[in-house]
Structure formats: C-alpha cells, structure tokens
Chains A and B, each alone.
Chain A
Amino acid sequence: MKARITVTLKNGVLDPQGKAIEHALSGLGFDGVGQVRQGKVFDIELTGTDKAKAEADLKAMCDKLLANTVIENYAVEVA
C-alpha cells in the first residue's frame, strides 16, 4: 500500500517562507496570486494490507513525529 501524508501550517500561524514564495511568484509576472502557504508531503510505502490499520498507524506517525501539531495540520490518504 502507498500512502501520502500532507502537512500544512495551521491558519493563523505566520508563514514567512510562503510569503517569500508569494512575492517571488508575483516577481515572475504571475498576476492574481493570493496568499501562498507552503508545507510538506511524505510518500510512505506500507507492507500491510489492512487499510483501516494503515490509516490509524499513519495518524499516529503524524502525531508522534511527522507533524508538529502545535503549528501544523496533517491529512492522510491511503491509495
């Protein structure tokens, strides 16, 4: 099984990197770019076949390591 975890900053948390990317995009001439927020993607291969267990494990991985839940949200997708 393959899984993808997306980690994004929570609303209200200042994202200076997103701001810098936003400015760089408008500098390249891309008009109409509003707010940019940057985050992380993890592609994880799992050996098991139980989808429900995989989702529970992936959420635990996010809570324990992959995301800092003080400032970040995460989303788990299992293919």
Chain B
Amino acid sequence: MKSAVVLLPGLNRDRDMIAALTKISGQAPATVWQTDTEIPDVDLIAIPGGFSFGDYLRCGAIAARMPVMRAVAEKAAKGVPVIGVCNGFQILVEAGLLPGALMRNASLKFVCRQVKLEIANANTMFTRHYKPGQIIRSPVAHHDGNYFADAATLARLEGEGQVVFRYAEGTNPNGSINDIAGIVNDKGNVLGLMPHPENLIEAAHGGNDGRALFESALGLAA
C-alpha cells in the first residue's frame, strides 16, 4: 500500500511518521514538500506533528496556506484518506478540511505524557480494526490541543459519529470540549487527532496500540 507524508519546515515528527508507515505498509512513503502542487496517487496521506513555521500566528495557520495543502484538499475531495496528527490536526483545521479550532491547553502547559483514548466510533476507515468503546493508550505532546467548536458544529459532530477518539475519563490533558481527541470530516476520509499513534506501533515502543489505526486506514488485515 502506498502512502505519502507532507513535509513542512518546523515539523519534527516527520521521521516518526515515515518510520511507522514504512514498517506497517512495507514500503517507504513518498514525501511531498510545502511547495509541491501535486501529490502522487497513494492510499493514504499523512501530515505529521511538530511546529510548522514556528507556530507563528496560530498553530498550523501558515502551513494551511501553503500550495501543498491545496493538493491535499484536492485529494481529500476525491476520497483519498488523510491523517493529520498533532500539528497535522491543527493544519487540517486551519485549512478548513476539518471543523472547529485547536486552542491553547486549558492548563497553559505543554503536556507530554501517555493518555488513554476511547474509540468513540469504530465504524470509520481509520478505526475499523478497533472495537467500539475500546480503550487504547497513546502518547500526547502538545501545547495547543484544546479542541473547540461552536454548539451547532459540536452537535453535528456528535450526532453524525464524527468524534472518533475521546480522552478516556479522567485523562483529558488539554481541556478539549467533550474530551474530543480526534474527529473525521463529514465524508469520513479526513482524520485529525492530537495523540501520536505513530509512536506506539511496536514492542520497542512499549506497545502497539496505535498500529491498528494505520492498518485500518491502509486497508491491511488486522
């Protein structure tokens, strides 16, 4: 299965994403740079975490206006699965590919720890290898993961099953509304999440709870 990773200046989890996709899909992902206007035909596009453009203006704001993001939007419109992790989630939100906004953590502190996630919807292309309500572990590392959406948007997300990952009870690290950790768009092919599933995919990581997300998205057997 072919994948592509979007590279932008200031990202720092790109190598983690490339390593995870290489191990899980069996081949190295293509890489696309911020100024690229075309993305090759792939089965999955990933936008990694980090601090693109130094988080200037707002996290993800500058990256979302780069030419490569128009190419991502075109692919997404054609139904290609897109995953944005951490800064990648912030970029997808800023680009308007996902609703809502990611604000400064309610604690005002950078959080770097492991949290528990509940699979809020196991009926998506990203979570079909998990069980509904399953609790998995995942690292988080961010300063701006406090998800916010207006009441109407939130009602739509909850009503349509677009909330895919929720921080399990008592582990919300950032004050995110309704404990939201990850959402999909209305078509279900664009996922954004603050946690880092790519950092928990093999025994050397201390577990492989994140692996099924990529196997689901790539259409691989569990």
Contact partner of A16 among B57, B58, B61, B104, CB < 8 A? B104
Question: How far, in Å, is B60 (CB) from chain A's closest CB?
Answer: 10
- B residues whose Cβ falls under 8 Å from a Cβ of A: 57-58, 61, 65, 94, 99-101, 103-108, 146, 148-150, 175
A65 and B65 contacting across the interface, CB-CB below 8 Å: yes
B148 and A66 contacting across the interface, CB-CB below 8 Å: no
Q: Kindly list the 7 A-B residue pairs having the minimum CB-CB distance in the complex, ordered from nearest.
A: A70-B101, A71-B101, A16-B106, A16-B108, A68-B101, A16-B104, A20-B108
Question: How far, in Å, is A53 (CB) from chain B's closest CB?
Answer: 22
Report Cα–Cα, A17/B65, bound state, in Å: 26
Report Cα–Cα, A38/B92, bound state, in Å: 25
Grouping DSSP codes into helix (H, G, I), strand (E, B) and loop, the A interface class, with mixed when no group exceeds half, is helix
8 contacts between A and B (CB under 8 A): A14-B146, A16-B105, A16-B175, A17-B108, A65-B57, A65-B61, A68-B101, A70-B149
Task: Choose among B101, B105, B175 the residue with the greatest number of A CB atoms under 10 Å from its CB.
Answer: B101
Residues of A within 8 A of B99 (CB): 70
Report Cα–Cα, A70/B65, bound state, in Å: 16
- A residues whose Cβ falls under 8 Å from a Cβ of B: 13-14, 16-17, 20, 64-66, 68, 70-71
Could you list 10 further interchain pairs (A-B, Cβ under 8 angstroms) beyond the known A14-B175, A16-B105, A70-B99?
A14-B103, A16-B106, A16-B107, A16-B146, A16-B175, A17-B104, A65-B65, A68-B101, A70-B100, A70-B148
Question: How far, in Å, is B51 (CB) from chain A's closest CB?
Answer: 17
Known contacts A13-B148, A14-B103; is A68 also within 8 Å of B175 by CB?
no
Residues of A within 8 A of B106 (CB): 14, 16
Contact partner of A14 among B61, B100, B148, B150, CB < 8 A? B148
Task: Choose among A14, A17, A20, A66 the residue with the greatest number of B CB atoms under 10 Å from its CB.
Answer: A14
Nearest to A66 among chain B residues (CB) is B57
Residues of A within 8 A of B148 (CB): 13-14, 70-71
Report Cα–Cα, A12/B61, bound state, in Å: 22
Question: How far, in Å, is B81 (CB) from chain A's closest CB?
Answer: 24
Residues of B within 8 A of A66 (CB): 57
Report Cα–Cα, A20/B175, bound state, in Å: 15
Question: How far, in Å, is A66 (CB) from chain B's closest CB?
Answer: 7
Residues of A within 8 A of B107 (CB): 16
Residues of A within 8 A of B104 (CB): 16-17
Residues of B within 8 A of A14 (CB): 103, 106, 146, 148, 175
Residues of A within 8 A of B175 (CB): 14, 16
Nearest to B150 among chain A residues (CB) is A70
Residues of B within 8 A of A13 (CB): 103, 148
Residues of A within 8 A of B100 (CB): 70
Residues of A within 8 A of B57 (CB): 65-66
